[in-house]
Amino acid sequence: MNKTLPQEYYKQLEEIQVADFVLIELTLYLDTHPTDTQAIEQYNQFAHYSKQLKEKFESAFGPLQQGSLNRTPEFWAWKSGPWPWQV
Amino acid sequence: MKSNPKTFTKVKSYVPYHSPCDPCPPIGRKYYSTPPNLYLGFQPPNLPQFSPIEALKRGTLWPVFYDFYENPYKKRAGKEHE
């Protein structure tokens, strides 16, 4: 039985990708500009936002990465569920 | 060479010397890309940024580094074989 994923899954995943991409760019920038306070503030803003997005996604669709919370106490969710290349 | 970031070209080309003893046909014009980061040097703070969604699509957060690649050989293929 192959259940198709809800559209919400892709939408939230893309939002996470957008936030994480900005984080990566800002990380690289801040490595060479450690005192740029405005960039640091933007980085923290996006880090917080990304954490929220991941929290929302994981509570709805399961763990995103190893080390994520296993939210179903009676079932090990990490092994199941569509893998990134199947999504 | 520090030049105003807006005056550089993103693709440059040269014609390698073709020796008469060279058995292969001449390559003609060869192209190489010169991305914006070459001309910017140390990145100044507070550069204008793309919106996050746009940044993911464009592959960079700052428009000044955006460098779309289109194959110069393909586009100029027509003129190549004059």
Which tens digits make up the pLDDT trace of B18-58?
A: 999 999 999 889 999 999 999 988 999 999 999 999 999 99
Q: How many domains is chain B built from? A: 1
CA atoms within 13 A on the CB side of B79: 5
Chain A, chain B: beta-carbon pairs less than 8 Å apart: 29
Report in angstroms the alpha-carbon separations of B5 from B29, B37, B41, B44: 25, 9, 10, 12
- Residue B74, pLDDT > 90, answer no
Number of independent structural domains in chain A: 1
Range of the domain at A30: 1-60
Phi, psi of A2 (to 5 degrees): -110, 110
- Nearest CA to CA, how far is A72 from chain B (Å)? 32
Closest partner residue to B55 (CB to CB) among A25, A29, A33 is: A25
Domain containing B46: what range? 9-65
pLDDT of residue A1: 52
